[in-house]
Every structure is written in C-alpha cells, then in structure tokens.
C-alpha cells in the first residue's frame, strides 16, 4: 500500500484555516454551554420549585437523550421553516452549545452541592438573600471545582465539532473532505485530520493539568 500525503502538505493552509474555524466554533459553543449550564444547574437545585425544576429536567432529558447530529440538523433545517434564517456557523454554535449545556449543568449542580451547606446557612444568617449568597459565597468556591470537568467537556466539544462540517461550516473536517474530493487520498487526509485533532485535544489536556496542579498547590481544589 502506497501512501501519498502530498495533497495534505500542498493544501496545508486550508487545513490550518479549518482548524482555526474548529477552535472558534468550539470556544463559542463552550461559552454558550457554560451560561446555559449555569442557569439549568441552578434551576435543578430545588425540586420544590416545580416549574423551573421540571423545565430544566425536561431540557436535560431531551438534549441528552437525542443524538447531537439530529439536533444540529433540527437547527439548520428546522429554523427556516419558521422563518428564521441563521448562518450555518450560528446553527453549529447553537447545536453544540445547547447539547453541551445539558452536561455542563450537571457539572454545575454537582459542584454547588459539594460546597458545605453550612456556608449557605451562615450567609443567610448574616442577612444575605439566597441570590447574594449563591453568587458571592457558593459559586466562587464551586467554580474552582468545576474547572477539571469543564476542561473535559471542552475536549469533548472539540471532537464533537467535527459534525458541524455537515452544516457546510468550513471547519477542519469540511476542508479535509474538500481535499479528498480532488485528490482521492481519503486515508491519508483523514490520518492528517486525526493528528490535528489529537494535537488540539492534547494541548488542552496539558494546559488543564497545569491549571489543576496550580490549584492543588494553592489548596483551592480538594
């Protein structure tokens, strides 16, 4: 079997451009998922608030119980049926972000619940409202504990972002498929794509490990 990586080296700028788009989509989706995940995670803290808790639970059930690819297609092909014409890039971010939010919400909820309940009681006894105690006392401590699992979610988003190529977004996978359509060297191009994804996820992993070591050294992560 003869390998020919010439097409990949010839069009390396296209692959680089695609990798940059992949990073952009992933970062934007992560920001969206963190914002939504925070709201949903807090909404699932108190089952007594039936409407909020029920809505958040239904959100988790749907987005965790259906394939990400189907959700992306619903955004891309479904919104135009209602007169909403969003760019493919926006649909990709919405699809990835709302899917990821269902997992981030559980990270948020678990981190908040890991903080000693006595701290909330102490804050309330000092005259703070529930919202003040949550945002000034509980969340800052919980955020530090969220960093490792959020990093893992970031890595998952990088890999899941390959699906947005099906929405005609010019990400790494899409650019690679364009090269394959001309060169017919599918194995070689997919190998190069896999290596680029591996480099991106490895870089994120190394950065996260360094952050965890610094937090542990500072006694911020137990």
**CATH number (domain holding residue 81):** 1.10.3720.10
Asked whether the CA dihedral 21, 22, 27, 31 is positive or negative, the reply is positive
User: Is the pLDDT score of 99 beyond 60?
Assistant: yes
Residue 127 within any structural domain of the chain? yes
Q: Looking at per-residue confidence, does 161 or 148 come out higher?
A: 161
Q: What is the predicted pLDDT for the residue at 37?
A: 93
Number of domains making up the chain: 1
Residue 222 within any structural domain of the chain? no
What gap in Å lies between CA 102 and CA 125, rounded to an integer?
33
User: Is the pLDDT score of 2 beyond 80?
Assistant: no
Across all residues in the chain, what is the average pLDDT? 89
Alpha helices in 11-87 (DSSP H): 12-43, 50-65, 68-73
- pLDDT band (50, 70, 90) for residue 218: low
Residue 164 within any structural domain of the chain? yes
pTM of the predicted protein model: 0.87
What gap in Å lies between CA 156 and CA 151, rounded to an integer?
9
The model's pLDDT over 8-53, given as tens digits with 9 standing for 90+, comes to 888 899 999 999 999 999 999 999 999 999 999 989 988 888 899 9
Residue 1 within any structural domain of the chain? no
Q: Taking the CA atoms of the chain, what radius of gyration do you get in angstroms? A: 21
Residue 209 within any structural domain of the chain? yes
Mean pLDDT of 100-107: 94
Percent above pLDDT 90 for the chain: 59
User: Is the pLDDT score of 112 beyond 90?
Assistant: no
Mean pLDDT of 68-93: 93
Residue 151 within any structural domain of the chain? yes
Q: What is the predicted pLDDT for the residue at 70?
A: 96
Residue 89 within any structural domain of the chain? yes
User: Is the pLDDT score of 222 beyond 80?
Assistant: no
Structural domain including 115 reads 6-217
Are 175 and 192 spatial neighbours (Cβ–Cβ below 8 Å)? Answer: no
The model's pLDDT over 162-182, given as tens digits with 9 standing for 90+, comes to 999 999 999 999 999 999 999
User: Is the pLDDT score of 110 beyond 80?
Assistant: yes
Identify the H or E element spanning 141: helix 139-160
Residue 141 within any structural domain of the chain? yes
């Amino acid at each position: 079997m003869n390998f020919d990586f010439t097409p990949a080296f010839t069009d390396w700028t296209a692959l680089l451009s695609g990798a940059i788009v992949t990073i952009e989509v992933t970062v934007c989706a992560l920001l969206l998922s963190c914002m939504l995940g925070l709201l949903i995670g807090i909404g699932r803290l108190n089952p007594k608030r039936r409407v909020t808790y029920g809505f958040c639970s239904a959100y988790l059930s749907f987005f965790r119980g259906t394939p990400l690819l189907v959700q992306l297609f619903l955004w891309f092909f479904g919104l135009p049926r209602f007169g909403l014409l969003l760019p493919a890039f926006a649909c990709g971010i919405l699809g990835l972000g709302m899917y990821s939010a269902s997992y981030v919400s559980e990270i948020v909820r678990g981190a908040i619940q890991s903080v000693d309940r006595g701290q909330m009681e102490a804050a309330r006894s000092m005259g703070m409202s529930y919202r003040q105690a949550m945002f000034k006392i509980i969340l800052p401590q919980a955020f530090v504990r969220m960093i490792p699992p959020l990093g893992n979610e970031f890595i998952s988003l990088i890999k899941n972002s390959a699906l947005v190529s099906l929405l005609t977004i010019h990400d790494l996978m899409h650019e690679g498929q364009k090269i394959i359509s001309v060169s017919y060297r599918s194995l070689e191009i997919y190998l190069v794509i896999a290596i680029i994804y591996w480099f991106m996820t490895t870089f994120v992993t190394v950065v996260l490990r360094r952050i965890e070591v610094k937090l542990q050294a500072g006694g911020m992560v137990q």
